[in-house]
Structure 1
């Protein structure tokens, strides 16, 4: 039986690396305010010329002048991954030919009559990487290294902290 560590490190990514992570993932959420409450809708996106083109099941009239677009890939079993949030001015693509092009390019969802393509001009992109187990300092005196598992093995191997474990 294993327990989750109490402290997991997070490191901040630079803006360029955050945009790179964002462009490498096809799925995110469009977050905006609707009726004085935050609304988040699933969305597909593609990056083009410093802009983010987003297809989402959102009514066009509900979209504000600015929007946030979070994307993440964090594994629940491993507690590792990354998260990025991009923000900037948003405008609905009203040109029918351009909208149809992106509706063909980006698979998406429909919610009633709502199938909107939005262009977000990126003003900021912040990201964090969620890492592996973090120790607050060196092990306590006398604690030593313990094998990673309780099963015995014939060969010498290293446990998750890099300590050698030996059969006795």
Structure 2
């Protein structure tokens, strides 16, 4: 008797569903380019007023003019779940009152020069679900 690995099916979700998944999560990864290399940093986020506010251990000077944010929930055993990616123009939040608000509401990993708040105004939000499927 042979045991075959489960077959997973990847299905694209609509833009509104991708935003809904993103809103329901709080932990992801900020991706940006620095010195011609992709850099990935863990981050916490909140979706507000059509923007993604991200708190990440990244120097503010490293924030590029555009960034990508990726979040997922995938079961380690089953491989089922979802992934969402949002990309668009980005800028560091420098207003002291606005920064104080987000630092109170978004937990961070570090404090000091590498504790940065980034606003991403997504131009694209895409997502996929991973589900058990059938071979065929």
Task: Name the TM-score, length of structure 1 as normaliser.
Answer: 0.76
State the Cα distance separating 1:134 from its structure 2 match.
2.0
C-alpha contact 1:91 1:119 (8 A) present in aligned 2: yes
Q: Superposed, which structure 2 residues align to 1:27-106 within 5 Å?
A: 27-106=27-106
Report which of the two has the higher share of strand. 2
Q: 1:18 to 1:67 in 2, by over 3 A?
A: same
The equivalent of 1:15 in structure 2 is: 15
Task: Name the TM-score, length of structure 2 as normaliser.
Answer: 0.94
The C-alpha deviation readout for 1:72-99, integer Å capped at 9, x for no partner, is 0000201100000001100111101110
Q: Distance in 1 between matches of 2:20 and 2:28?
A: 14
Unmatched segments (≥5 aa) in structure 1: 137-168
Could you say what secondary structure the match of 1:9 adopts? strand
Unmatched segments (≥5 aa) in structure 2: none
The equivalent of 2:5 in structure 1 is: 4
- Choose 1 or 2 for highest CA Rg: 1
Moved over 3 A (4+): none
C-alpha contact 1:58 1:111 (8 A) present in aligned 2: no
Q: Distance in 2 between matches of 1:111 and 1:12?
A: 37
Q: Distance in 1 between matches of 2:110 and 2:121?
A: 24
C-alpha contact 2:60 2:113 (8 A) present in aligned 1: no
State the Cα distance separating 1:135 from its structure 2 match.
2.1
The equivalent of 1:126 in structure 2 is: 126
Q: Distance in 1 between matches of 2:119 and 2:98?
A: 11
Q: Compare relative contact order (CA 8 Å, sep 6+) and give the higher one, 1 or 2.
A: 2
Moved more, 105-114 or 43-52: 105-114
Q: Distance in 2 between matches of 1:111 and 1:3?
A: 48
